[in-house]
């Protein structure tokens, strides 16, 4: 029992609690951890209900590609396979192209003219998330924000 208390104290001492709007104490940090775990499980279950989000979040490569495409869409910028490959240099163009092509085939990504200024090369295909993918992602984000606002640690 004594060793567990020492372990808990070492863990608490190394947490960045100064970034929180509330004070974590030795008797509350485990409850906080349990709440975070429940929260992540809930978000995972919600994500799994969406076929498009489930596909996009299946691995870190897809997540990174999705976020590049989503961000470009929201800012009205062009995004295409070559640009994604430049921004995510740890993966090959071939890997990125395969994921994008799979996403297009499944209907999660679509080819659509950009909202902003178009580029000079007409052969380049601008990639956008589908309407359903945008809706599912934003609804998941709303759920996350809603649960955080209801957090009992405030």
Q: What domain count does the chain have?
A: 1
Does 135 fall in a domain? yes
Q: What is the pLDDT of residue 30?
A: 83
Q: What is the pLDDT of residue 72?
A: 93
Collect the ranges in the chain with pLDDT lower than 70.
113-124, 151-154
- C-alpha 106/C-alpha 88 separation (Å) is 22
Does 21 fall in a domain? no
Does 91 fall in a domain? yes
Give, as one character, the DSSP assignment of residue 120. S
Q: What is the pLDDT of residue 29?
A: 81
Q: Which residue range forms the structural domain that includes residue 134?
A: 31-149
- C-alpha 28/C-alpha 5 separation (Å) is 13
Does 22 fall in a domain? no
- C-alpha 96/C-alpha 117 separation (Å) is 24
Does 13 fall in a domain? no
CATH number of the domain enclosing 74: 1.10.10.10
Does 4 fall in a domain? no
Predicted TM-score of the model (pTM): 0.78
Does 56 fall in a domain? yes
Does 138 fall in a domain? yes
Q: What is the pLDDT of residue 114?
A: 59
- Residues 94-107: tens digit of each pLDDT: 999 999 999 999 99
**CA of 131: how far to CAs of 75, 134, 136, 137, 138, in Å?**
16, 5, 9, 10, 11
């Amino acid at each position: 029992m004594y060793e567990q208390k020492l372990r808990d104290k070492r863990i608490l001492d190394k947490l960045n609690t100064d970034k929180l709007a509330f004070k974590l104490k030795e008797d509350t940090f485990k409850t906080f951890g349990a709440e975070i775990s429940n929260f992540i499980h809930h978000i995972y279950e919600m994500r799994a209900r969406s076929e498009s989000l489930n596909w996009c979040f299946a691995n870190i490569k897809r997540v990174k590609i999705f976020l590049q495409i989503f961000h470009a869409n929201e800012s009205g910028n062009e995004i295409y396979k070559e640009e994604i490959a430049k921004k995510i240099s740890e993966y090959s163009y071939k890997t990125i192209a395969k994921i994008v092509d799979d996403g297009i085939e499944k209907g999660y990504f679509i080819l659509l003219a950009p909202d902003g200024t178009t580029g000079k090369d007409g052969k380049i295909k601008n990639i956008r998330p589908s309407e359903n993918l945008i809706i599912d992602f934003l609804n998941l984000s709303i759920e996350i924000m809603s649960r955080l606002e209801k957090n009992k640690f405030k």
